[in-house]
Structure 1
Amino acid sequence: MGSFSIWHWLIVLLIVVMVFGTKKLKNIGSDLGGAVKGFKDGMRDGAAPETPATPQPPAQQVSHAAPQTAAKDTIDVQATPKS
């Protein structure tokens, strides 16, 4: 009395198909599959560490001290912001 046999489940499935129709059941199945796939993709994206798409070039170090061995044809210019 507590468990259903395969015949009970087949009869329930037949009744559900007759009530809803195969087209509506197909749409429900594809919507449910898409939702599960979206959930899995979201979980995979959330678990992955954030990595930049392109590697960043190393930052250039700027020295404010004048070079001691400057060539005679170079000009030392100090930039100031416009007001």
Structure 2
Amino acid sequence: MGSFSIWHWLIVLVVVLLLFGRGKIPELMGDMAKGIKSFKKGMSDDEAEGAKTADGKTVEHRPDETVQAAKERASKS
């Protein structure tokens, strides 16, 4: 009961082809590939810029500093 036979997979394939058509599946896969490439490019662009805040300042991390102290220091500058 845990595995599907070849007939189950053939029926699923026929239903998918009927729903999407033969030409639509490669088009969907191409769009998916473009989306993945765009996502990877965006991630690499973010890493290249470094960690910056909305106003363009670099985020400084001090391990011994509390969140409240960091907010107060940021509001002063």
**1:21 and 1:46 mapped to 2: Cα distance?**
38
Quote the sequence identity (%): 50
Please say which structure displays the higher CA radius of gyration.
Answer: 1
Which residue number corresponds to residue 12 of structure 2? 12
Which residue number corresponds to residue 32 of structure 1? 32
> What is the CA-CA distance between 1:28 and the residue it aligns to?
1.3
**1:24 and 1:39 mapped to 2: Cα distance?**
22
State the TM-score, normalizing by the size of structure 1: 0.47
> What is the CA-CA distance between 1:19 and the residue it aligns to?
2.3
Matches within 5 A, 1:1-83: 1-49=1-49
What is the total number of aligned residue pairs between the two structures? 50
> What is the CA-CA distance between 1:48 and the residue it aligns to?
1.8
**Deviation readout 1:50-81 (Å, 9 max, x if unpaired):** 6xxxxxxxxxxxxxxxxxxxxxxxxxxxxxxx
State the TM-score, normalizing by the size of structure 2: 0.50
**1:17 and 1:40 mapped to 2: Cα distance?**
30
Distance of aligned partners of 1:11 and 1:47 in 2 relative to their CA distance in 1, 3 Å threshold: same
Where does structure 1 lack aligned partners over 5 or more consecutive residues?
Answer: 51-83
> What is the CA-CA distance between 1:43 and the residue it aligns to?
0.8
